Amino acid sequence: MFEVPADPMAGIPAHTRIMVGVSGGADSTGLAVWAVRTYPEYDWYVVHVRHGLRDDEADRCAAQATAKRLNRPFLEIQAQWKAVDQANGPEDHARQARYAAFVVASKQLNTSYLALAHTADDQAETVLLRLARGTGPSGMAGMWPVSSRLGLTILRPLLHWPRSAVRNLSQGFPTVEDPTNADLEQRRAYVRHRIVPALGQARPDKQSAVPAISRLAALQAQQRMLIDHLIAPYVGPSWGEIQRISDECAPIVQKELIYRALGHDVSRALADGIERLQRGERVDIIGERWAARDRFGWIIGPKKIAWSINRSPQPELLPDCVRRGSDPLKTHPLPWKVPILKDIDIHELRVRYRLPVDSVHKGIFEYFEKSLRKQLPVVYTAAGNVVAIGPSSTLPIGHLGANVQWIAITQSHQL
């Protein structure tokens, strides 16, 4: 019932424009050859990212020659180093800059599809690197045949192929070997040339451990899909940038939700540390985010969220399920409809965070747990009168028209 799709290309309409990332190496060249010859009905674009970390002219020439031989358009794009805020080492830094470049290319080509040449060997290396970092079951699922990142749909159609078979596809095409692939100072190269062969020697048949690790990743992916199905009832409308995990969930469900809210690339130790937070405790975590625990459970979200106002076409009062002493995020009342008692020029409204002068509205703030109160946006008029309090979306105030009688306060889903 729960299976990882065997063919990532299934369901993509013919004539769809798809980028195929070609570094100039044998793996990505093999992917390009396979893609164009196996699926001629798609509009393939060969995209080459230049990192500029070394003399990579030969790489560019090889990628361009491959595109020419396959009679496909070629696009060269520079790595977007400035788009990377934080990275776990130089390899991750380069990876993020490369994905950011593909985003730029996708806008130029007006497509969101990107095919990458990850193989079963890459999958095994990824799983082993995550294990060394302390990942959990979801991290052991490795890469998926179809995934999304930065708005791109990532296709890995050769993820279950051995690297040798993919490289055989590139025979007769010009290719360049990246010297960092043999640099044992690089973590992935060390795993590739030292750890994976050693695991093969540890097997009774002395054969490569790659197929076994690849099967493990596929089984873990199926387990993750099953867990997705089981925890779906606990993921409500408030599961956006701010994620609420209830104390009423079973402990095993709490653990899984905390791990997912933090992101699958984090270590299990970090997730366990968040789970052990005492009520009233709050900690900063990676990615400019924080985690806190109150009497209702855990809250995980970004430190900064943009706020503004959206119109409500029909007046509705604060939902009945939001009562003093209840948790508004737990009961999922979002979006809220908060009444303004009279017409107000929308350009007179302002948004800020809570100030001491708002103490007169103490009753409204008490709907929220203390750990949330200082982060709530307060909507007020030019005269200083507070008209609404609560989470909101990111629509500009000036786009809402001249006058508005009711406003909707909704949770932001953007940083």
Domains of the chain (ranges; CATH) run: 17-212 (3.40.50.620), 236-302 (no CATH), 310-409 (no CATH)
pLDDT in tens, 88-111: 778 888 899 999 999 999 999 999
pLDDT in tens, 172-188: 999 999 888 888 988 99
Contacts of 141 (CB under 8 A, 6+ apart): 217, 220, 221, 223, 224
Q: Which residue has the higher pLDDT, 111 or 394?
A: 111
pLDDT at 182: 86
Label residue 287 by pLDDT band (50, 70, 90).
Answer: low
Residue 200 has pLDDT above 90, yes or no: yes
pLDDT at 366: 67
Label residue 48 by pLDDT band (50, 70, 90).
Answer: very high
Backbone angles phi, psi at 18, to 5 degrees: -130, 130
pLDDT in tens, 242-274: 677 878 788 888 888 888 888 755 677 788 889
Q: Which residue has the higher pLDDT, 137 or 192?
A: 192
pLDDT at 337: 46
Distance of CA 194 to the CA centre of its chain: 31
The model's pTM: 0.67
Cβ atoms of 289 and 302 within 8 Å: the answer is yes
**Residue 156 buriedness (CB in 10 A; 0-12 / 13-18 / 19+):** buried
